[in-house]
Amino acid sequence: MSTKQWSREELQKVNASLEGRSPQEVLKWVADNFDVKEFALASSFAECVLIDMLVKIEPQARVFYIDTGLLFSETLDVVKRVEEKYGIKVERFAPVLTLEQMEVEYGPELWKKEPDRCCLLRKVNVMTEALKGFKLWITGLRREESASRKDAPVVGWDEKFGLIKVNPIAAWSKKEVWDYVHKHDVPYNALLDKGYTSIGCAPCTMPVKPGEDERSGRWAGKGKTECGLHK
């Protein structure tokens, strides 16, 4: 494994050097500077462009997802199709509390009453465990998705989880994502053909209206656009 510790100043320089470069060049920087056991890609299994790019650069790279117990069946279907297409095993991480236990402790449908607490229990706490031992994680976050993501760096330090965070397609538009999907026959979530533009848990995700930002269908009416993983 690599022993180098990256300072915030070094990461700022790396970020500046990779701004405007292709996602593949960003992923190549990761593969060249970190042992394959030191990083992983977290996927929501919407458009799987980063999985397609990463396995072509580093076939042994780890890919994982958080299974909240409330995911759409369409999302779980994409996991299977990705495994079949790329010959990889996607790692699954799940909450300690089952949905039944959560209902006993917090009452029914916690996501309606306290969506922030539900996200903490079923996503953020799980991600904290999933990222233990890693030096870097890769996400599909894009700036144009919402106002809360408009300043996302390509490479930066993740204060919440205490490791390097890389967003290779931060500067990409929705069109660029779909151009890549179609060109490379990348698996994607069937809900994206039905008006959904951001895929999360089934009870808290809706299709969006024309002109709305991509994450407006998440926790609609709750004044919430992030689960806590990125903000």
Long-range CB pairs of 149-157, under 8 A, 24+ apart, other chains included: 149/230, 152/230, 153/15, 154/15, 154/18, 154/19, 154/21, 154/26, 155/11, 155/14, 155/15, 155/18, 155/26, 155/29, 156/11, 156/15, 157/8, 157/11
Q: How many angstroms separate the Cα of 98 from the Cα of each of 6, 166, 228?
A: 38, 31, 20
Q: Strands, E, within 114-224: which ranges? A: 136-138, 155-158, 163-166
Catalytic residue among 48, 119, 204, 227: 227
Annotated catalytic residue 227: yes
Query: Distance between CA 188 and CA 123 in Å, rounded?
Result: 22
Q: How many angstroms separate the Cα of 53 from the Cα of each of 91, 192, 203?
A: 18, 20, 31
| Residues assigned a catalytic role | 227
